[in-house]
């Protein structure tokens, strides 16, 4: 198999119809095998509020009780996933929308209760690469939403982690590149200066950035996934704006060993 590109997009793209269409146009033109992973954006929170279901977060992570799980399943696996798949079909990219339950592609375990009970949140236990590869080998582009499963129970699972674990699984036998598309041009020395992109980060420099408070809050789990991926044979890991990755218009951060 040619080099596989695993690309994750977040709410800043999903919540903006023009940005989403522009990204999907670029994505559809990427040659070779590719997988798209998407988060949920603001739509699930907006629907929850309309339905009178409280939105509970802890350190940027959604606490998922049963009513919340019902809503995010409808939004992530339904509205958002199928909208993306339909748009890709219009761009001659034969996409197939998936949760981790479909084809038993991503298995997880319900997160144990420590100081916080996250509810129906899953931590990935296995990615069934052979099944995903079957889709790719027949010319289909998998599009994963942030839902996995454990023995019949659907689970809300971090999309950054899903992208990382898929990339790691394929990296055991294939060349893999992992891209995290988010709203900034990369990891910034100064969060208020978009030009202060740190071009390369390795394990040592990452720890220094954490110790100095330059990497904090929501960037911590994202970069932990990046570091984990490069340490497990993923050939290339980048974080930044999609324009920078594929059109060379802007900078981005590359994570190296």
pLDDT single digits (tens) 218-242: 788 889 999 999 999 999 999 998 7
pLDDT mean over 130-151:
97
Q: In what order do the strands lie in the sheet with 176-181?
A: 95-98, 141-144, 34-38, 4-9, 176-181, 236-240, 252-255, 200-201
> Is 110 strand, coil or helix?
strand
Q: What are the beta bridge partners of residue 147?
A: 156
pLDDT mean over 159-185:
94
pLDDT at 248 over 60: no
User: What pTM, to 2 d.p., does this model score?
Assistant: 0.94
**Helices 81-90 & 17-28, crossing angle to 10 degrees?**
50
Question: According to the model, what pLDDT value does residue 246 have?
Answer: 67
Q: Is residue 195 part of a domain?
A: no
Q: Is residue 210 part of a domain?
A: no
| CATH number for the domain harbouring residue 97 | 3.40.1160.10
Q: pLDDT (tens digit, 9 = 90+) per residue, 77-135?
A: 999 999 999 999 999 999 999 999 999 999 999 999 989 999 999 999 999 999 999 99
The rounded distance, in Å, linking the Cα atoms of 35 and 24 is 12
Class of residue 56 by CB neighbours under 10 A (exposed 0-12, middle 13-18, buried 19+)? middle
Q: Is residue 94 part of a domain?
A: yes
Quick check: 149 and 110 in contact, CB under 8 A? Answer: no
The rounded distance, in Å, linking the Cα atoms of 61 and 77 is 18
Q: Is residue 42 part of a domain?
A: yes
How many separate domains does the chain show? 1
Q: pLDDT (tens digit, 9 = 90+) per residue, 107-120?
A: 999 999 989 999 99
Task: Write down the mean pLDDT value for the chain.
Answer: 92
pLDDT at 243 over 80: no
Give the confidence band of 184 by pLDDT, cuts at 50, 70, 90.
confident
Q: Is residue 208 part of a domain?
A: no
pLDDT mean over 170-178:
95
The rounded distance, in Å, linking the Cα atoms of 228 and 250 is 25
Min mean pLDDT across 41-50, 132-141, 230-239 is at 41-50
Q: Is residue 213 part of a domain?
A: no
pLDDT at 203 over 70: yes
Question: According to the model, what pLDDT value does residue 247 have?
Answer: 61
CB count within 10 Å of CB 104 equals: 11
pLDDT at 9 over 90: yes
> Structural domain of residue 146, as residue ranges?
4-183+219-255
CA distances from 122 to 22, 103, 136 (A): 31, 17, 25
Block residue for tokens 């559809």: 28
Q: Pseudo-torsion of CA 214, 198, 201, 32, nearest 10°?
A: 130
Q: Is residue 196 part of a domain?
A: no
Quick check: 75 and 51 in contact, CB under 8 A? Answer: no
Q: Is residue 191 part of a domain?
A: no
């Amino acid at each position: 198999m040619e080099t596989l590109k695993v690309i994750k997009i977040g709410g800043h793209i999903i919540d903006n119809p023009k940005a989403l269409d522009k990204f999907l146009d670029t994505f559809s033109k990427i040659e070779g095998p590719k997988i798209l992973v998407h988060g949920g954006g603001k739509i699930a929170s907006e629907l929850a509020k309309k339905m009178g279901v409280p939105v509970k977060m802890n350190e940027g992570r959604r606490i998922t009780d049963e009513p919340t799980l019902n809503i995010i399943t409808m939004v992530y696996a339904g509205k958002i996933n199928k909208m993306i798949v339909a748009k890709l079909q219009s761009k001659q990219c034969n996409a197939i929308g998936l949760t981790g339950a479909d084809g038993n592609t991503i298995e997880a375990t319900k997160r144990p209760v420590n100081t916080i009970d996250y509810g129906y949140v899953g931590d990935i236990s296995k990615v069934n690469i052979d099944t995903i590869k079957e889709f790719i080998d027949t010319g289909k582009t998998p599009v994963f939403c942030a839902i996995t499963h454990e023995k019949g129970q659907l689970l809300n699972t971090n999309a950054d982690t899903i992208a990382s674990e898929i990339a790691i699984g394929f990296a055991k036998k294939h060349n893999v590149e992992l891209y995290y598309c988010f709203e900034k041009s990369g990891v910034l020395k100064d969060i208020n200066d978009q030009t202060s992109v740190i071009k390369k980060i390795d394990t040592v420099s990452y720890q220094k950035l954490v110790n100095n408070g330059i990497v904090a809050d929501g960037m911590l789990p994202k970069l932990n996934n990046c570091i984990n991926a490069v340490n497990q044979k993923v050939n290339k890991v980048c974080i930044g704006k999609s324009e920078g990755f594929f059109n060379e218009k802007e900078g981005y951060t590359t994570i190296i060993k």
